[in-house]
Amino acid sequence: MATAHTLFHWGLYEARPHESGEPGLGRWRGDEDPSPIGLADRLSDFDVARIARPSVRRSVLEQGPGARRDLRGREAFVEVDWEIAIKLVASELTRVIAEHGNASIFGGSYGWASAGRFHHALSQLHRFLNVIGGYIRQTDSYSLGAGRVLMPHLLGTMDEIMGGMTSWDVMERHTELFVTFGGVPAKNAQVSPGGAGSHRVAGALRRMKANGARFVNFSPVQSNLDVGGEVEWIPIRPNTDTALMLGLAFVLQTEGFTDRAQIDRYASGFGEFLPYLLGETDGMPKTPEWAAAITGVPEETIRRVARDMASSRTMLNIAWALQRASHGEQPFWMLMTLGCMLGQFGLPGGGFGLGYGAMNGIGSPHVKLKGPTFPQGRNPIDAFIPCARVTDMLLSPGERFAYNGGVHTYPDARLIYWAGGNPFHHHQDLNRLVAAWQRPETIIVHEPYWTPTAKHADIVLPVTTSVEREDIGFSTREGTIVAMRKLKPAYGEARSDFDILAAIAARMGLEAAFTEGLDEDGWLRRLYSEFRRDSSALLPDLPDFDAFLEAGVVPLPLHDEGVVYLQDYRRDPEAHPLPTPSGKMEIHSERIAAFGLADCQGHPRWYEPAEWLGSARANAYPLHMISDQPERRLHSQLDTAPWSKAGKVDGREPIQIRTEDALARGIASGDIVRVFNDRGACLASAVVTDAIAPHVVKLSTGAWFDQPGSIEQAGNPNVLTLDIGASGLSQGCIAQTCLVEIEKYAGAPTRVTAHDLPHLVAAATVRPIIHGDPKEMTELAFTPSPGRTS
Ligand SMILES: Nc1nc2c(c(=O)[nH]1)N[C@H]1C(S)=C(S)[C@@H](COP(=O)(O)OP(=O)(O)OC[C@H]3O[C@@H](n4cnc5c(=O)[nH]c(N)nc54)[C@H](O)[C@@H]3O)O[C@H]1N2
Ligand SMILES: Nc1nc2c(c(=O)[nH]1)N[C@H]1C(S)=C(S)[C@@H](COP(=O)(O)OP(=O)(O)OC[C@H]3O[C@@H](n4cnc5c(=O)[nH]c(N)nc54)[C@H](O)[C@@H]3O)O[C@H]1N2
Ligand SMILES: [Mo]
């Protein structure tokens, strides 16, 4: 039999049996640099903290929906059989729709879920909720909250930009100087949404270096740019890059490196921006001296780098993290402006890019294709929130919020349905979320694992993982389509999201609308054959479904020439206008100016972040915390696997702190520290280093929220972060804007319980109370069973 494969967001792997005969995973031979996240001697290594059976919060079973919401996250669960679980969910959805309407069901369900085009949890859930009459949706992403709203006004959608950025092979041949704000974190390029193919970023950076490219990295941390050789690391105060770029722009402009006729040909609004840059509108010229005082980057360095940029073939890059911050629109806007002033866009190896390193697919030479897609149907409900405003919605239904030029109202969410995400990992200011999470009447979660979100739900339905089902794996610009095979039986009584939702739809009399009469195999065949039909012009040789299964991994063809971003636009801007109101890059946007927002005006500006090292708040909380993406997992996924655990100390995440800052606090490497501010506190394990800027600490995300008392135990940075929008334009998440203080932990360390199962109670004779159905209200008898731990 041919080798079976599977695909995760972090890569493609081959099934490889362990000597015990258990299934395991090894490297796929087509991957130049496989990610260790997915290598597994035994697939059962990924099964710690799995959910075995449908589980219902005890008070909900005893007293009905909505009971003791204050106990969410602290109460025992009763394991029930599937029939009861399905009945409970169906009757609760029916009740909420009858009493409050579909605009009271929050189905935004933000999250990465797992790879696989059919078993994509969010698509499954959204289709189901559309079939039952619609739901409150969400817009944008945590990744690019500010960028996704901003860039269409200035340049094009983020998808167009990411799909068109100059490819690595071109930079390997042509780029002389690569200047980046926030590095090129190859750790992040382990993933692509839908599944990375061959991992190319680390190798590409090394080849650029070997070909003589020089690298300058403005960054609060040093570790995010590894080129296998020298990099000039220039530490910068977090969240001040816009001021730095203004300083660089000032040098370009005042030392004769800009070409006004060229700028006006390709961009609109430079005339509005220039007086601000020169200080004519606010009396404050954005000189290198001015920028140095804000950023901590020496004035002479700013001048030198600006001159170097102008005299080399230069590529500018910015990490997405910079827009995940207070006024996060500004650094993206200013990068485009700087790139425009430098004038090298559209030339091989020059110009600018947004987010090299953020995903493996960025800068890929593979063609952009639309993959197989599970149809979600149409949502008849208009209510929505920008995704990072979930706590605001729960706390303030009916209140108004600004978003992308409009004013909208927070809907009244009575029921939350979440599948494929972990808000107790991803959201900011988790103590605020814990309070808001008590508001809705019912919370339903589908999960493979006992994540903190599952533990904070009322009804938890256990889901198979991608290695426990058949699927089609595809991610655009990764160059393959993959037959994902079932490599092990389902864990416990877990079922796929599709199977669960089909059963609930059946109970509600809507099965045919949800399944269209197809089972999983029928859907896989349909999605594949639609893809094959729709791509037949580009890919005439795609095998049929059975041959695809046999082949396992089918390569999709490459570009034969390197991609140069904005090349056509540079050659002939009239023939290739940009999709903006002026058809040009918008240094000043009339549209955004007309929105009349104080915190995002018509052109890029330096605004003081809500909190930063230059603010008065730094007297109380003098360290800026960067909470970057974790190297050893994707967000909170596989936090329980050996590779992630090996990066922790006694179950706690490492936090990097600079030598002087540690000395001043009597902290040594390996100490347990308490990281705190007025929003919360967590414990972490100190790592003292000189590879981080003064007054900056770094605590990666993804530790499962574990807060039995007032201190989070596992090192989840989101108990500390700030939960306000980037601006009235985007309302994006601002996780990177966060001041903290650190001290050596004086208390006795407790065992981290993040990966423990909740207290599970077996129901001997469960006759659940199903709201609105008095016939079924019966006394309950419980047989307590010891909470299993693994
Ligand atoms: N402080 C701080 N916070 C951040 C960020 C930051 O930089 N700093 N980054 C933000 C960003 S960019 C993002 S994208 C978010 C990510 O946040 P999330 O996307 O919510 O994080 P994940 O851990 O990937 O959550 C996916 C969940 O889906 C579950 N799952 C996997 N497969 C399936 C399936 O088939 N069915 C179901 N039902 N569930 C499944 C997994 O077990 C996991 O719990 O975090 C954000 N939060
Ligand atoms: N292994 C792994 N890879 C991932 C993910 C994961 O969870 N694990 N998540 C994926 C997702 S969803 C996303 S959205 C992307 C995110 O990609 P990014 O947003 O680029 O990721 P981060 O690691 O948060 O940040 C990148 C770098 O920006 C720096 N930085 C932060 N703030 C500032 C600042 O103010 N100024 C400057 N100059 N630098 C700053 C940080 O030090 C960090 O090294 O990564 C993806 N890749
Ligand atoms: Mo993201």
Give the mean pLDDT of 441-454.
98
pLDDT of res. 782: 34
In contact, 761 and 784? CB cutoff 8 Å? yes
Give the mean pLDDT of 781-790.
35
pLDDT of res. 777: 37
Query: Which protein residue's CA is at the shortest distance from atom 16 of ligand 2?
Result: 358
pLDDT of res. 1: 59
User: Is the model's pLDDT at 426 over the cut of 90?
Assistant: yes
- Which of 412, 332, 380, 414 shows the shortest CA–CA distance to 161? 332
User: Is the model's pLDDT at 520 over the cut of 70?
Assistant: yes
- % of the chain residues with pLDDT over 70: 96
Q: How confident is the model at residue 365 (pLDDT cuts 50, 70, 90)?
A: confident
As given in the structure block, the two tokens for residue 213 are 């490219």
- In 4-101, alpha helices (H): 58-63, 82-100
Closest ligand (CA of 320): 2
Element (H, E) at 95: helix 82-100
Q: How far is CA 15 from the centre of its chain?
A: 28
- Separation of alpha carbons 389 and 137, rounded Å: 12
Give the mean pLDDT of 774-786.
36
Question: Residues of 519-556 as b/e, b for ≥16 C-beta within 10 angstroms?
Answer: ebeebbbbbbeebbeebeeebeebeebeebbeebbbeb
- Distance, CA 636 to ligand 2 centroid (Å)? 15
- Distance, CA 112 to ligand 3 centroid (Å)? 8
Q: How far is CA 19 from CA 25, 43, 268, in A?
A: 12, 13, 65
- Separation of alpha carbons 687 and 695, rounded Å: 14
Single-letter residue type at 373 = T
Active site members: 110, 112
- Separation of alpha carbons 630 and 651, rounded Å: 15
Find out whether the beta carbon of 504 lies less than 6 Å from any atom of ligand 1: no
User: Is the model's pLDDT at 770 over the cut of 70?
Assistant: no
Higher pLDDT, 123 or 775: 123
HEC readout, 332-388: HHHHHHHHHHHCCCCCCCCEEEECECCECCCCCCECCCCCCCCCCCCCCCCCEEEHH
- Separation of alpha carbons 484 and 467, rounded Å: 8
Give the mean pLDDT of 429-452.
98
DSSP letter assigned to residue 80:
-
Closest ligand (CA of 430): 1
Sketch out the chain's domains with CATH numbers: 5-47 (no CATH), 55-140+370-475+486-517 (3.40.50.740), 156-365+577-594 (3.40.228.10), 616-744 (2.40.40.20)
DSSP symbols for 621-643:
S-EEEE----SSSBTTBTTTSHH
- For all residues of the chain together, what is the average pLDDT? 95
Please report, to the nearest 10 degrees, the dihedral formed by the alpha carbons of residues 499, 505, 511, 515 taken in order. -40
Query: What φ, ψ does residue 45 adopt, rounded to 5°?
Result: -60, -25
- Which of 448, 432, 414 shows the shortest CA–CA distance to 112? 448
Higher pLDDT, 74 or 782: 74
Tell me the per-residue pLDDT of 284-333, one tens digit each, with 9 for 90 and over: 999 999 999 999 999 999 999 999 999 999 999 999 999 999 999 999 99
User: Is the model's pLDDT at 559 over the cut of 80?
Assistant: no
Give the mean pLDDT of 77-95.
96
Give the mean pLDDT of 437-441.
98
Give the mean pLDDT of 660-681.
98
Q: How confident is the model at residue 266 (pLDDT cuts 50, 70, 90)?
A: very high
As given in the structure block, the two tokens for residue 418 are 């979440």
pLDDT of res. 557: 78
- Distance, CA 142 to ligand 3 centroid (Å)? 5
Tell me the per-residue pLDDT of 177-216, one tens digit each, with 9 for 90 and over: 999 999 999 999 999 999 999 999 999 999 999 999 999 9
- Separation of alpha carbons 480 and 484, rounded Å: 12
Please report, to the nearest 10 degrees, the dihedral formed by the alpha carbons of residues 241, 654, 648, 746 taken in order. -150
Tell me the per-residue pLDDT of 217-265, one tens digit each, with 9 for 90 and over: 999 999 999 999 999 999 999 999 999 999 999 999 999 999 999 999 9
Instruction: Tell me if residue 732 falls in helix, strand or coil.
Output: coil
- Which residues, judged by CB distance below 6 Å to any ligand atom, belong to the binding site of ligand 2? 143, 181-183, 185, 187-188, 190-191, 218-221, 224, 236, 238-239, 241, 319-322, 325, 358-359, 626, 628-631, 634-635, 736
